């Protein structure tokens, strides 16, 4: 079961998966990752693409933060905060779901 | 790591992001609000072949199209549908099948799944068997429900499209319950748009403002109850908005529709507009049709706009509304959409509403979408009703498919 209604913010031990309704892929004509779904297109910026690519149901939020901190070295605290914020926004938009 | 802006808005940058293929105008149903041309049955060019559709899809991808819709008519009447879907998937499209459900069997669903179809939009007209079957002119209700469950069983994301008009607007709560039971992902209440067959039957179909408000309250309550489980859209009728819809996100901006005979159109209704030329993919490349065709250029930007729109601070948001509606109601496609309260023709909307709900108005039978009525209307030479004249009046004697 995946929980799609719980409004609580993401926690370090949780895993997220892409909502199966969405198709996520690289689109060369946009030079960007896109999310495609019934009646919709979302073009993602690089960070958003980096995060969603890792919502695979295996990595925990903590794993994800670690990987992004490596990818964007510098301010680890800000990167961690950014990941949490993005995950919360993406979940609210219905793009990703919390894996129970 | 960038601070914000998780999502970049996709304005198309001049690309036809949405490609819609009207595979055929043939259809087993007879919906009297159908958005297909009223003269669909007149002798014309043959439908594009499998190879021709494949070329269109390939050229569409080259132009940057991402979303692909298979519609009609009834697209399931094409027995090459599975082959086209497979081709589209291989090209990298997100593939949408837009169907009445008639002809969708378990076997075809499996084949479509195997071909890579991404989602199915099924239309449902009522929560009531009798009313559905009467409105679409065929025994369709039981079949549609069965197909709906099969679509979900096969694991397709599903949109349930409910065209809304006077005859079914009181059923919003029942339809919501049905959709919940089926487990649809998106429920779309689409107040019908008044072109083509819907324009012919406007007096009989147009709901009242009060009916719309009541339906909207039901939708709001359901949204609160269902949360994330189902996304519910309620497309408000522009007749009651005082503001026009941002039609197609602007003419020739991100939408490209190909008619069964290959004509390229900025939207599915565009052939209503007289005086525009619609060359086909048989004559020209898709790139030429999109980038250079005078028809697509005609209403891009704002130079074509009437002074009302050109001087208006809303023009970036609604692009002056719908060109087809402007043409149908005012006779000039470059006019401000009369649905806009700032349009000098806005009174035509009020008059249409008043006519549809005039006390003592004699109820007319619905003119069903069928070949006989289509040929008759084609001879009458109208795709709707010009200059605000009553539509019912010109089309009183229709046969044989009355409701
Ligand atoms: C023209 S139909 C073609 C596909 C298929 N025959 C069907 O009915 O789903 C495409 C969609 O348009 C909707 N539709 C038909 N007439 C309409 C109108 N006048 N305004 C808005 N939507 C309409 C239908 O409910 C359907 O979802
Ligand atoms: S709206 Fe009805 S009549 Fe028109 S194409 Fe769809 S099913 Fe056929
Ligand atoms: S006047 Fe034109 S641009 Fe302004 S709101 Fe009306 S339709 Fe839109």
CB contact under 8 A, B6 and A89: yes
Pick from B349, B98, B44: nearest CA to A39: B98
Select the residue of A41, A46, A79 nearest B66 (Cβ to Cβ): A41
Cβ of B369 below 6 Å from ligand 2: yes
The tokens for A84 are 């949490």
Q: Which residue in chain A has the smallest CA separation from B95?
A: A38
Check residue B381 and give its pLDDT: 55
**pLDDT at residue number A92:** 87
Distance CA B61, CA B68 (A): 10
Cβ B326 under 6 angstroms from ligand 1: no
Please provide the DSSP assignment of B221-275 as one string.
Answer: HHHHHHGGG-EEEEE--GGGTSS---GGGSTTTSEEEE-TT-BEESSTTGGGSTT
pTM to 2 decimal places: 0.90
pLDDT of residue A99: 85
User: Which among A27, A39, A44 is the nearest to B66, CB-wise?
Assistant: A27
Q: Which of A23, A27, A47 lies nearest to residue B2, judging by beta carbons? A: A47
Which tokens in the block code for residue B12? 């198309």
Q: Is the CB of B337 under 6 A from ligand 3?
A: yes
- Ligand 2 center to B100 CA (angstroms): 7
> Residues B44-69: what's their mean pLDDT?
96
Q: Cβ contacts of residue B238 below 8 Å, gap of 6+?
A: B193, B244, B245, B321, B322, B325, B337, B339
The answer to whether residue A8 scores a pLDDT higher than 90 is: no
Encode pLDDT of A38-68 as tens digits: 878 999 999 999 999 999 999 999 999 999 9
Identify the pLDDT of residue A39.
Answer: 77
The residue contributing the CA closest to ligand 3 atom 6 is: B340
**CA torsion sign, B86 to B9 to B15 to B186?**
positive
| Span B159-194, pLDDT tens digits | 999 999 999 999 999 999 999 999 999 999 999 999
| Disruptive mutation site among A29, A47, A79, A93 for chain B (greatest number of B CBs within 10 Å) | A29
For residues B261 and B44, is the Cβ–Cβ distance under 8 A?
yes
Phi, psi angles (nearest 5°) of residue A27: -120, 110
| Pocket perturbation via mutation, ligand 3, pick of B245, B246, B330, B342 by most ligand atoms within 8 A of CB | B342
Q: CB within 8 A of B74, min separation 6: which ones?
A: B24, B26, B27, B28, B29, B99, B100, B102, B103
The number of the ligand 2 atom at minimal distance from the alpha carbon of B36 is: 4
- Mean pLDDT, chain B, whole residue set: 91
Report pLDDT for B402: 38
- How far apart, in whole angstroms, are the C-alpha atoms of residue B259 and residue B21? 7
**How far does residue B237's CA lie from ligand 3's centre (Å)?**
16
| pLDDT at site B44 | 78
**DSSP notation for B272-331:** GSTT----BTTTS-HHHHHHT-HHHHHTSSSTTS-HHHHT-TTHHHHTTS-HHHHHHHHS
Q: Which residues have a Cβ under 8 Å from the Cβ of B362 and sit 6 or more positions away?
A: none
Interstrand relation of A96-99 and A15-18 (parallel, antiparallel or unpaired): antiparallel
Q: Is B122 in the pocket of ligand 2 (CB under 6 A)?
A: no
Is B10 within 8 Å of A42 when comparing Cβ atoms?
A: yes
Tell me which residue has tokens 């692009």: B319
Element spanning B51, H or E: helix B50-62
Query: With 60 as the cut, is the pLDDT of residue B86 above it?
Result: yes
CB contact under 8 A, A38 and B157: yes
The DSSP element (H or E) to which B70 belongs, if any, is strand B67-72
Nearest in space to A15 (alpha carbons), one of A48, A49, A58, A50: A58
| Predicted pLDDT of residue A7 | 58
The fraction of chain B above a pLDDT of 70, given in percent, is 91
Instruction: Look at B1-15, B210-224, B275-289 and tell me which has the smallest mean pLDDT.
Output: B1-15
Q: Does ligand 1 come within 6 angstroms of the Cβ of B34?
A: yes
Give CA–CA dist A27/B261, Å, rounded: 30
Best probe of the A interface among B228, B248, B255, by most A CBs < 10 A, is B228
Q: Do A82 and B17 touch (CB under 8 A)?
A: no
What whole-number distance in Å separates Cα of residue B389 and Cα of residue B392? 9
| Tens digit of each residue's pLDDT (9 = 90 or more) over B350-378 | 999 999 999 999 999 999 999 999 999 99
Atom 2 in ligand 2: residue holding the nearest Cα: B31
pLDDT at B398: 37
> Predicted confidence band at B14 (pLDDT cuts at 50, 70, 90)?
confident
Whole-complex ipTM: 0.82
| Residue of B321, B329, B341 with the most ligand 3 atoms within 8 Å of its CB, for mutation | B321
Instruction: Report in angstroms the alpha-carbon separations of B324 from A61, B222, B272, B293, B335.
Output: 50, 33, 7, 18, 10
> How many Cβ atoms are within 10 Å of B305's Cβ, its own excluded?
18
Q: What pLDDT does residue A73 have? A: 93
What pLDDT is recorded for position B17? 94
Residue B323 half-sphere exposure toward CB, CA atoms < 13 A? 28
- B313, B317, B320, best to mutate for ligand 3 pocket (most atoms within 8 Å of CB): B320
Ligand 3 centre and the CA of B196: distance in Å?
A: 24
Q: What is the pLDDT of residue A20?
A: 86
| CA-based nearest distance A92→chain B, Å | 9
B112 CA from centroid of ligand 3 (Å): 43
Residue A41's SS3 state is: strand
Lowest mean pLDDT among B110-114, B267-271, B350-354, B389-393: B389-393
Query: In chain A, what's the furthest Cα-to-Cα distance?
Result: 39
Cβ-proximal residues to B242 (8 Å cutoff; 6+ apart), any chain: B339, B340, B341
The answer to whether the CB atoms of A39 and B227 lie below 8 A apart is no
Residue of chain B whose Cα is closest to the Cα of A52: B6
pLDDT in tens, B315-336: 999 999 999 999 999 999 999 9
In the prediction, which pLDDT does B310 show? 95
C-alpha dist (Å) from residue B36 to B47, B219, B230, B313, B344: 15, 28, 29, 33, 29
The closest of A45, A52, A34 to B4, measured between CA atoms, is A45
**CA separation for the pair B88, A83 (Å, rounded):** 35
- Percent of chain A exceeding pLDDT 70 equals 93
* CA-based radius of gyration for chain B: 21
Give the number of C-alpha atoms closer than 13 A to the C-alpha of residue B170, restricted to the C-beta side.
5
HSE-CB of B254 using CA atoms within 13 angstroms: 16
pLDDT tens column, B137-151: 999 999 999 999 999
Count of C-beta atoms within a 10 Å radius of residue B331: 13
Closest-approach residue (CA) in chain A for B6:
A48
Interface contacts (A, B; CB < 8 Å): 80
Q: Ligand 2 centroid to B74 CA: how many Å? A: 7
Q: φ and ψ at B165, to 5 degrees? A: -155, 180
Predicted confidence (pLDDT) per residue in B232-249, tens digit: 999 888 999 999 998 888
């Amino acid at each position: 079961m995946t929980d799609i209604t719980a409004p609580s913010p993401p926690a370090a031990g949780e895993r997220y998966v892409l909502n199966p309704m969405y198709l996520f892929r690289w689109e060369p004509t946009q030079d960007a990752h896109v999310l495609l779904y019934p009646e919709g297109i979302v073009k993602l910026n690089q960070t958003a693409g980096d995060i969603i690519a890792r919502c695979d149901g295996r990595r925990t939020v903590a794993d994800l933060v670690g990987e992004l901190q490596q990818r964007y070295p510098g301010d680890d605290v800000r990167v961690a905060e950014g990941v949490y914020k993005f995950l919360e926004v993406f979940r609210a938009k219905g793009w990703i779901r919390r894996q129970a | 790591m960038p601070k914000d802006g998780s999502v970049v808005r996709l304005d198309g940058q001049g690309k036809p992001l949405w490609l819609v293929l009207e595979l055929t105008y043939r259809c087993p149903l007879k919906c009297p609000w159908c958005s297909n041309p009223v003269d669909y049955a007149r002798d014309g060019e043959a439908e594009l072949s499998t190879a021709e559709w494949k070329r269109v899809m390939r050229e569409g991808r080259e132009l940057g199209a991402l979303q692909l819709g298979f519609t009609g008519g009834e697209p399931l009447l094409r027995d090459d549908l599975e082959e086209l879907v497979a081709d589209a998937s291989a090209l990298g499209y997100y593939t949408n099948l837009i169907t009445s459900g008639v002809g969708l069997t378990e076997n075809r669903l499996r084949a479509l799944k195997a071909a890579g179809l991404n989602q199915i939009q099924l239309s449902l007209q009522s929560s009531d068997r009798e009313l559905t079957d009467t409105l679409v002119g065929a025994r369709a209700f039981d079949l549609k429900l069965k197909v709906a469950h099969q679509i979900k069983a096969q694991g397709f994301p599903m949109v349930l499209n409910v065209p809304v008009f006077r005859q079914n607007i009181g059923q919003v709560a029942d339809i919501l319950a049905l959709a919940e039971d089926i487990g649809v992902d998106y429920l779309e209440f689409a107040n019908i748009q008044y072109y083509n067959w819907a324009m012919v039957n406007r007096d009989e179909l147009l709901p009242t403002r009060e009916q719309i408000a009541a339906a909207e309250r039901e939708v709001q309550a359901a949204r609160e109850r269902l949360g994330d489980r189902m996304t519910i859209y309620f497309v408000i009728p522009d007749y009651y908005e005082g503001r026009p819809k941002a039609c197609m996100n602007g003419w020739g901006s991100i939408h490209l529709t190909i008619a069964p005979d290959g004509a390229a159109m900025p939207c599915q209704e565009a052939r209503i507009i007289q005086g525009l030329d619609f060359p086909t993919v048989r004559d020209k490349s898709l790139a030429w049709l999109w980038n250079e065709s005078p028809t697509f250029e005609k209403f891009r930007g704002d130079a074509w706009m009437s002074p009302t729109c050109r001087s208006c601070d809303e023009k970036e948001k609604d692009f002056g509304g719908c060109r087809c509606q402007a043409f149908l109601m005012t006779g000039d496609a470059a006019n401000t959409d009369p649905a806009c309260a700032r349009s000098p023709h806005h009174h035509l909307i009020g008059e249409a509403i008043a006519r549809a709900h005039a006390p003592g108005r004699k109820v007319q039978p619905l003119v069903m979408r069928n070949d006989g009525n289509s040929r008759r209307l084609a001879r009458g030479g109208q795709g709707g009703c010009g200059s605000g004249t009553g539509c019912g009046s010109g089309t009183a004697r229709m046969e044989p498919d009355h409701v």
